[in-house]
Structure 1
Amino acid sequence: MSIEKLDKQAWHAYFDAVSKRLPGMQAEIDVQSLKIGAQVESQFAPLIGIVYDQKSQILEVVLEGWDHTVPDVAEIWIDHDGVVLKSVKVVDNAGVEQIIRLRSPLALPLTA
């Protein structure tokens, strides 16, 4: 596993490229801060895409039936294993961390 801080100039292009490879993945979103503790924002659900808007400085995570936005983004960290993205940590300017965990859905065996 490798954890990297993404350069702010690369956020928009990075998530555009990543979103093209996300169909079929699931995501869970946790929010953590000293003020509220650790909260599960969304259980694992089908992930539609992740978008960073440079103009409004908002990161949006679009899940099936749920939109999660992070305004005023200060840092983005990615955890990956080679070419497989495992999670994204987004820190806003208030120090609130949003952790987006990714996984592939469980493939069930074929029944006869």
Structure 2
Amino acid sequence: MTMTKLEKSTWQAYFDNVSKILGGKEAEVEISSLNIGNQIEAEWLPLMGLVYDPKSDVVEVLMEGLDHLIHKPSEIYIDHDAVRLVSLEVIDGDGVRQIIRLRDPLMLPYSGAMGGAQASGAGNAPP
């Protein structure tokens, strides 16, 4: 798998495209920070959509029974291979990592699947 940083200018379009093909894939949300350690916010709930609103600078993770908001995201990484999305990591302005893992990888459409993304090698994964 490859960790790829998404450019902020592509977040809204990337999430819109991924949301169109989610089809209720099951996902979990893990929150990781020095203050709270690692905590599971949601465990294997249907993922209904991912949204980035540039006006309010919020990433919204819409799950069945949960609307998880990530305020002031500073970086977004995706873990993928050539055609499958495995997970996303959103780092907010306070350095809190929020990881959205898909139970089954999501098959991405080939054209534009990686728009605005910069691949990083294993040694360049986010800290």
TM-score, normalised relative to structure 2: 0.80
1:46-69 superposed Cα distances (whole Å, 9 cap, x missing partner): 110000001111000000111100
User: Which residue pairs with 2:30 in the alignment?
Assistant: 30
Deviation of the 1:83 alpha carbon: 1.5
Which residue identity is paired with 2:67?
D
1:39-89 superposed Cα distances (whole Å, 9 cap, x missing partner): 000011111000000111100000011110000110000001222110000
Deviation of the 1:36 alpha carbon: 0.6
State, as a whole percentage, how many aligned pairs show the same letter. 53
Unpaired segments of 5 or more residues in structure 2?
105-127
Unpaired segments of 5 or more residues in structure 1?
105-112
Deviation of the 1:2 alpha carbon: 1.1
Q: Distance in 1 between matches of 2:77 and 2:13?
A: 15
1:14-53 superposed Cα distances (whole Å, 9 cap, x missing partner): 0000000101311100000001100000011111000000
3-state DSSP class of the match of 1:41? strand
3-state DSSP class of the match of 2:18? helix
User: Which residue pairs with 1:53 in the alignment?
Assistant: 53
Q: Does residue 89 of structure 2 align to residue 89 of structure 1? A: yes
What RMSD in Å do the two structures reach over aligned CA positions? 1.2
Q: Distance in 1 between matches of 2:19 and 2:49?
A: 5
Which residue identity is paired with 1:24?
G
- Number of equivalent positions: 105
Q: Distance in 1 between matches of 2:89 and 2:47?
A: 16
Q: Distance in 2 between matches of 1:24 and 1:93?
A: 29
Q: Does residue 15 of structure 2 align to residue 10 of structure 1? A: no
3-state DSSP class of the match of 2:9? helix
* Structure number, greater radius of gyration: 1
Runs of 4+ in 1 over 6 A off after TM superposition: none
User: Which residue pairs with 1:69 in the alignment?
Assistant: 69
